[in-house]
Structure 1
Amino acid sequence: MEIDLFGSWFRSLVLGMMKIDMAGVSYQAQKDTKFKQVKITSCPPGWIQGPRNCYFLSHFGGTWADANSVCQGFLGKLAEPIEEDSFQFLSKASKNVSANHGQFFLGGSDMFVEGIWLWSSTKTMIYKNHWSPGGPSDSGHNEDCLTFVGGVLNDVPCTSTYSFICQLESEEEGTQVIG
């Protein structure tokens, strides 16, 4: 039996909103189009400011697909700490959060070509310098999703349940088109 962890009511609630304005943070979505404009002037409540982006470290878990849906529901994405300072920031920040099974899903995988690890939104290669020793291992030939644990990257099955880290893009100009 499959359980819809985040349910259609949640997606409807988040995705159906035309405009949310809280504490000076403005998010806008154009109804009936697939484009969304996101203006980030500061991080929303519950999110933390990193070197370039806002991050949300979940205290609850889901599969990689569930986690990705939640992040998109908040007009973000699973975190992609491509720059070293962002990676180090999340390494420190994640040590202060109790994660589901001690790991957080990130926005990387080798779903399309085994052994070629890419960040989902940018399609850039994930460098090998932050993998756990011997990683990626592809244990059981089904570890295609990326987690962050104790400051290193680990490959896990996408259907496992872990906490996750979402990322909101910050732009100097303040407006970004997503879609």
Structure 2
Amino acid sequence: MKRDHSFDNYLQSSANNVILTNVAVGGRIACVLECQMRLPDCVAVLHQDQELRCILLRRFFNDWNSYLSNKSVAYFLRKYECSPGWREFNNHCYFLNQTMRTWNEAKVECQRHNAYLVEVESSDENTWVTSTYIKPPDQCPVSWYCSVWSGGMYSTTKQNHVWQNSEAIASYTNWDSDQPSGGGQNCINIWKGGKWDDAFCGAQFEFVCEKP
């Protein structure tokens, strides 16, 4: 049987999101059960029918479907359940802490819950966070009163804005018209209409935590 090397290459490029590869389980159902035994770390599985390969994933990918469209691979997502008080979006859990904190204090508070300050990676996620946690502009006479900290920060090493937890450069952004303004304002908050602002990290806002 010819081995699917393109599949191997894809897994290798996404190694940080794979828990185990080639798990010896012997079928789709057993592969899903193996994922359930590894909750909450495992959020999805891949099962390649021809080679009976089971791969456990720690993260949901938006691009799996396009990659697998011509492959004999089954993709399963487990039903995601968040802790009380947390809300689910795209197989991640989110929580709004309404206590005013500096960016560093907010980061530490999220870590206490095995989470991190929200990393907004798409327009859909930004829209969901905004509609779920940020009051509309007509309820916020002062934008700062309705702002939340995100995990975004300016990295002097990378000379770009990055996400604190993943250390990835923010490929998706939604800056307000006059932002980022710089000048030592290195931490990203989300405010009116889901627009982004860079603020002094010592400022105090509510904040959103995220965890897989």
TM (norm. structure 1) is: 0.65
Q: Which letter does structure 2 place at the counterpart of 1:77?
A: Y
1:124 to 165, 168, 177: 168
Q: Residues 74 and 63 from structure 1, CA distance in 2 versus in 1: closer, same or farther, beyond 3 angstroms?
A: same
The answer to whether structure 1 residue 158 and structure 2 residue 201 are counterparts is yes
**Cα distance in 2 between the residues matched to 1:62 and 1:76:** 16
Q: Give the number of the structure with larger relative contact order, counting CA–CA contacts within 8 Å between residues 6 or more apart.
A: 1
Cα deviation for residue 62 of structure 1 reads 0.5
Q: Residues 74 and 27 from structure 1, CA distance in 2 versus in 1: closer, same or farther, beyond 3 angstroms?
A: farther
Moved more, 120-129 or 50-59: 120-129
The answer to whether structure 1 residue 52 and structure 2 residue 96 are counterparts is no
The answer to whether structure 1 residue 69 and structure 2 residue 111 are counterparts is no
**Cα distance in 2 between the residues matched to 1:49 and 1:27:** 14
1:105-152 deviation per Cα after TM superposition (whole angstroms, max 9, x unaligned): 0001004348511111222222475101111012xx220001010211
- Return the structure number with greater helix share: 2
The answer to whether structure 1 residue 89 and structure 2 residue 165 are counterparts is no
1:106 to 150, 157, 164: 150
1:76-122 deviation per Cα after TM superposition (whole angstroms, max 9, x unaligned): 00000112221111011123599972110000100434851111122
Q: Residues 77 and 129 from structure 1, CA distance in 2 versus in 1: closer, same or farther, beyond 3 angstroms?
A: closer
Q: Which residue of 1 aligns with 2:180?
A: 136
1:42-81 deviation per Cα after TM superposition (whole angstroms, max 9, x unaligned): 1111111112311001111101110000100000000001
Q: Residues 143 and 108 from structure 1, CA distance in 2 versus in 1: closer, same or farther, beyond 3 angstroms?
A: same
Structure 1: gaps (5+ residues)? 1-25, 29-39, 170-179
Q: Which letter does structure 1 place at the counterpart of 2:178?
A: G
SS at match of 1:118: strand
Q: CA contact under 8 A between 1:147 and 1:156: conserved in structure 2?
A: yes
Q: Which letter does structure 1 place at the counterpart of 2:209?
A: C
**Cα distance in 2 between the residues matched to 1:127 and 1:86:** 13
**Cα distance in 2 between the residues matched to 1:53 and 1:162:** 22
**Cα distance in 2 between the residues matched to 1:153 and 1:113:** 22
Structure 2: gaps (5+ residues)? 1-38, 42-78
**Cα distance in 1 between the residues matched to 2:97 and 2:144:** 9
Give percent identity, aligned residues only: 21
TM (norm. structure 2) is: 0.55
SS at match of 1:89: helix
Q: CA contact under 8 A between 2:179 and 2:198: conserved in structure 1?
A: yes
SS at match of 1:124: coil
Query: Rg bigger for which structure?
Result: 2
Give the root-mean-square deviation of aligned CA atoms: 2.8
